[in-house]
Amino acid sequence: MTAARNPPPSGATRTGPWPALLLVAAAAASLFFNGIWGEWYGLAMVALVAWATIEASRGYGRELRLPLSGLSIALAAFWGWLGITLLWHPVPQMGILQFWVLGAMPLAYGIARLAPDREATWRLCRNGLFILALLTAAFAAFQFFAQAKAPRSVFLDINSYAAFVNLIALPAAGMTLAAWSDSRGAGRLRVGLGAGIVFFLLFAVFLTKGRAASLALAGGTLLVIAMAGRQVPSSARAGMAALAAGAFLLANLAWQGELAARVESLFTPASAGADRFIIWREAWRMLQENPWSGVGIGTFWLAWPRWRHPDDTSGGFFVHNDYLQIWIEAGIPGLVLLLVLLSVTALRVVKALGRPLDVRKRLEIAGLGAGLGAVAFHAFFNFNLYMLPILLAAGLALARLEGLTEPPRGNRALTLRPDRRFTPWGFRSIVAAGALVLVAYFSTQGAYFYLYRAALEEIKQGRFAQADATLLAAARMAPLADNVLTTHADLMRRLIRGLPEADQEKKQFLYRSAEDTLDRARKLNPLRASNYLVRGELYHDNPPLAGPDWAARADFQYREALRHDPRSYRAREALAALLLQQGARSEARRVLEEGLRYWYYETADILPYYELARRLREQDGDREGAAQLAARIKNVRKAYRVPGTELLDPAQTMERNQRGGTRPKS
């Protein structure tokens, strides 16, 4: 291993850039990963590992250069700190998963930098990402115009979709403007096609009606135009500005003026950001509890319910400010290293644009910088840095940006010559072994997500025997996944309820198994409220098995569930039922009324809670309050087509309140 300042060699092996198609495949798969469909996460990461494996294997017989630039060091330091935080992480399953999600950016960057033919690799990846952006934008337009739905494409969050398109659209604008400045003959057709693509991507972002995303796009477009300077004719710069203005006006027309109204609301930030301010204020209070080491990457949504404001109407998974969330999860070092990474990137762009450059190179740098800057700005109001497709595209953009802004003598680098230390078979065996370990891990994680969802569906359908087998398989795939264990314990509780009284031996066996399973789940994740809830229900359902103090034990577990998640209406309903059973009627109503302060996604699961609260209000003579709840019950029944005479089992499937349910389809 030696230090070098020489430019990278051309490379003895040139088998073409085709392995970069695996990056495009990873990005395509990642579009469908939303925290639930984890098999797409597994597929995306396997494709990324395959790309890394091929590029590393091709490195035998040539010099591998590991950049030692400020950008590469900042990326490695940020990812390295995230890895260090796993040493004290309270929920290993969540931490490891989030480590690899956030690591997609440095991984994509590193693999792209190690590719033997960087220029061809970049062109292939860039074109693949352009196609993905166009396809997602076309689907969003179809949703809006043909289905009268929100144009979110395949994303669950419309703002994340806008950030992804921004990251692609602004570099495309830079490239198109560069070609526009020198369009002669047949080149005019290419410029026209490029301008049409840019217009459509800009329109797609504006069509989301997102204020921060639209502002980031407009600012990025102006930056690209400004960076063109006198090297680009004024007609070309005016044409690009007209494209952006036309895209905005067309989107505003499609929304019948609502887009302009939302942009105008930015001048009254107190009302425009009211929802965000509620989250940020409580998140700041949460941060004060552990500002240095953080609560653990990926665990914000588990720790957040204790701090969440009753009026918060978000999904509860993100702070809607990536910098604040990184601080909460990874501590001050995580935030500082992220800010260093952003600063190093910005400084690199500014320095490069301050030097005399060819117009094409100048506008490509400006477009990449504007795209990355748009995502970074938008991250103050969203959760872009937690979205896998955005991270993959950003890593690739950083690699290209570094290549374009290298000093004349090249970046300082560490060089490796595998052929001097290993035989061809030995080197490729080491690379293959490492790849197999990672592929096995990501494949089993994808299988775990799939099996767990399948088990929940089987429980919902009452197919308990099949669910038991499926949960055991899911636990084998992901032994650190506490949600599988907690759900399995809840299934055992249900099975106990279905056994005849005479079958005490089997009841005792299932009871002990459920307790042991809950103990293991709590060790893996002490933050999950449903673990305490299921244990309380286990005691509540089985007084003879739980012992003479079963009521006190169940009461304690229900209150622990509410301490971890005050929004858990299932825990409130169960605790109120226990209190009524013990004759503490006023306390039961207080527990129910306290929960009614919170905002909920009103699904059919909430009906038993509302019905119990309505009944107590009516019995206490609160007719107005009972009528209000009756109206809400009627609306939920109508939205979910629940018959008015049907009483739902209060013990529904697991985690329905952890993820807030889903809205009824319009």
**pLDDT over 70, % of the chain:** 92
Reported confidence tier of residue 5, pLDDT bands at 50, 70, 90: very low
The mean pLDDT value for 18-47 works out to: 94
Q: What is the mean pLDDT of the chain?
A: 90
More confident residue, 195 or 67: 195
Reported confidence tier of residue 92, pLDDT bands at 50, 70, 90: very high
Reported confidence tier of residue 424, pLDDT bands at 50, 70, 90: confident
For position 58, what pLDDT does the model report? 85
Alpha carbons 31 and 46: distance in angstroms, whole number: 15
pLDDT digits (tens, 9 = 90+) for 105-114: 999 999 999 8
For position 645, what pLDDT does the model report? 43
DSSP per-residue codes, 216-285: HHHHHHHHHHHHHGGGS-HHHHHHHHHHHHHHHHHHHHHTTTHHHHHHHGGG-HHHHTHHHHHHHHHHHH
Residue 651 has pLDDT above 90, yes or no: no
For position 665, what pLDDT does the model report? 31
pLDDT digits (tens, 9 = 90+) for 440-470: 999 999 999 999 999 999 999 999 999 999 9
Residue 647 has pLDDT above 80, yes or no: no
More confident residue, 621 or 268: 621
Residue bearing tokens 């500014």: 350
For position 231, what pLDDT does the model report? 81
For position 411, what pLDDT does the model report? 67
More confident residue, 285 or 419: 285
Alpha carbons 353 and 368: distance in angstroms, whole number: 12
For position 666, what pLDDT does the model report? 28
C-alpha angle 77-386-656 in degrees, rounded to nearest 5? 135
pLDDT digits (tens, 9 = 90+) for 509-556: 999 999 999 999 999 999 999 999 999 999 999 999 999 999 999 999
Alpha carbons 240 and 367: distance in angstroms, whole number: 13
Please give the sequence-ordered ranges of beta strands (E in DSSP) within 486-602, or none if there are none.
none
Spatial CB neighbours of 22, under 8 Å, sequence gap ≥ 6:
47, 48, 50, 51, 54
Alpha carbons 216 and 511: distance in angstroms, whole number: 56
Please give the sequence-ordered ranges of beta strands (E in DSSP) within 397-463, or none if there are none.
413-416
The mean pLDDT value for 217-234 works out to: 91
Alpha carbons 45 and 51: distance in angstroms, whole number: 10
More confident residue, 435 or 268: 435
For position 214, what pLDDT does the model report? 96
Strands 2-4 and 64-67 turn out to be: unpaired
The mean pLDDT value for 299-319 works out to: 94
Residue 309 class from Cβ within 10 Å (0-12 exposed, 13-18 middle, 19+ buried)? middle
Residue 648 has pLDDT above 70, yes or no: no
Residue 270 has pLDDT above 70, yes or no: no
pLDDT digits (tens, 9 = 90+) for 564-618: 999 999 999 999 999 999 999 999 999 999 999 999 989 999 999 999 999 999 9
More confident residue, 189 or 477: 477
Residue 181 has pLDDT above 80, yes or no: no
CA dihedral 521, 523, 525, 529 (to 10 degrees): 70
More confident residue, 409 or 360: 360
Residue 132 has pLDDT above 90, yes or no: yes
pLDDT digits (tens, 9 = 90+) for 293-306: 999 999 999 999 99
Spatial CB neighbours of 267, under 8 Å, sequence gap ≥ 6:
none
Taking residue 158's Cβ as centre, other Cβ atoms within 10 Å add up to 19
Category of 410 on φ-ψ map: left (φ > 0), alpha (ψ -120 to 50) or beta? left
Q: Please give the C-alpha separations between residue 281 and each of 285, 294, 295, 310, 313, in angstroms, as whole numbers.
A: 7, 17, 17, 13, 14
For position 273, what pLDDT does the model report? 65
The mean pLDDT value for 367-380 works out to: 97
pLDDT digits (tens, 9 = 90+) for 64-91: 777 889 999 999 999 999 999 999 999 9
pLDDT digits (tens, 9 = 90+) for 147-167: 999 999 999 999 999 999 999
**What are the residue boundaries of the structural domains of the chain, listed by start?**
2-7+15-420
Question: Tokens at residue 92, please?
Answer: 């290993």
The mean pLDDT value for 325-341 works out to: 98
Alpha carbons 334 and 80: distance in angstroms, whole number: 10
For position 73, what pLDDT does the model report? 95
pLDDT digits (tens, 9 = 90+) for 212-224: 999 999 999 999 9
Residue bearing tokens 């929004």: 567
